[in-house]
């Protein structure tokens, strides 16, 4: 498969231009003497599902963490809805991740002491939503992700596939504009992985959320609108 150098140009296939919702430009990041990113760039439009692919150690998770404002790049800039994330305070970046961004990780990272319902309500409760309204919205999302029956259970008492669907519900419950999914099916068998991806992408499309999907699996990347390859810290679009 041929590749071309990644571009942050916002021209669509039909020639129209659409401003990127999230954009990382010339991002570089090193951990000690080891470079993880070297002038990597990525633009994501509202409602778009972008798969970030590459081998282990290529820098794809570091790219996701920079785009989400979890870590700061050594060079380059990340803009979200026109605002420079790097210029924000720690409090502003935390608020952004709480209200505008949703996260799904490989192992779910649900809070083990809380029930599945309480895990899903957590973003709403942190945003000041009352318990009754938060519970109602969370139950709707658990139903949408086909895991209503595990609402009262704790994460340690559900299967991996069920737990990951609960994690997807938690990521989407507050209505984020961007969902960051880092190897969301990496700990699942193929059947559960396919179901999680199908439900995640369908829910994101219904709500208009963009998805930045880190994966090394072609079958997972197939759910995306566009693929970007990360290799040796550099990005390339797949035409």
Closest C-alpha to 73, from 34, 8, 27:
27
Percent of the chain having pLDDT more than 70? Answer: 92
Q: pLDDT per residue over 187-198, tens digit each?
A: 899 999 999 999
Q: pLDDT per residue over 163-180, tens digit each?
A: 999 999 999 999 999 999
195-226 b/e with 16+ CB inside 10 Å = b? Answer: bbbebbbebbeeeebbbbbbbeeeebbebbee
In angstroms, rounded to a whole number, what is the distance separating the alpha carbons of residues 20 and 79? Answer: 9
In angstroms, rounded to a whole number, what is the distance separating the alpha carbons of residues 226 and 139? Answer: 32
- Categorize the per-residue pLDDT at 18 as very low, low, confident or very high, splitting at 50, 70 and 90: low
In angstroms, rounded to a whole number, what is the distance separating the alpha carbons of residues 181 and 193? Answer: 13
- What is residue 42's predicted lDDT score, i.e. its pLDDT? 97
Domains present along the chain, CATH in parentheses: 45-72+88-238 (3.40.50.300)
- Phi-psi category of residue 55: left, alpha or beta, with phi > 0 → left and psi -120 to 50 → alpha: beta
Closest C-alpha to 144, from 112, 128, 120:
120
- 211 strand-pairing partners: 49, 179
- Categorize the per-residue pLDDT at 106 as very low, low, confident or very high, splitting at 50, 70 and 90: confident
- Specify the pTM: 0.89
Closest C-alpha to 94, from 125, 126, 64:
126
Asked if residue 6 has pLDDT above 70, the reply is no
Count Cβ atoms below 10 Å from residue 3 Cβ, excluding itself.
14
- What is residue 17's predicted lDDT score, i.e. its pLDDT? 52
111-130 b/e with 16+ CB inside 10 Å = b? Answer: eeeebbbbbbbbbbeeeebe
Asked if residue 97 has pLDDT above 60, the reply is yes
Calculate helix-pair angle for 116-126, 131-144, nearest 10 degrees: 130
């Amino acid at each position: 498969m041929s590749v071309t150098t990644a571009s942050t140009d916002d021209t669509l296939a039909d020639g129209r231009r659409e401003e990127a919702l999230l954009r990382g430009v010339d991002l570089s990041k090193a951990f000690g003497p080891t470079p993880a990113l070297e002038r990597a760039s990525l633009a994501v439009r509202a409602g778009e599902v972008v798969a970030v692919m590459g081998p282990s150690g290529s820098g794809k998770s570091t790219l996701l963490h920079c785009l989400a404002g979890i870590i700061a790049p050594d060079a380059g800039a990340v803009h979200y809805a026109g605002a420079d994330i790097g210029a924000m305070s720690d409090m502003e970046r935390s608020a952004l991740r709480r209200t505008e961004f949703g996260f799904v990780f490989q192992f779910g990272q649900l809070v083990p002491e809380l029930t599945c319902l309480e895990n899903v309500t957590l973003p709403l409760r942190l945003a000041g939503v009352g318990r009754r309204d938060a519970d109602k919205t969370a139950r709707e999302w658990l139903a949408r992700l086909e895991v209503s029956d595990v609402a009262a259970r704790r994460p340690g008492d559900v299967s991996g596939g069920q737990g990951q669907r609960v994690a997807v519900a938690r990521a989407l419950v507050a209505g984020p504009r961007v969902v960051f999914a880092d190897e969301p099916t990496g700990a699942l068998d193929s059947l559960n992985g396919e179901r999680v991806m199908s439900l995640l992408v369908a829910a994101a499309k219904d709500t208009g959320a963009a998805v930045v999907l880190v994966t090394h699996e072609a079958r997972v990347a197939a759910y995306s609108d566009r693929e970007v390859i990360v290799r040796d810290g550099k990005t390339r679009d797949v035409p």
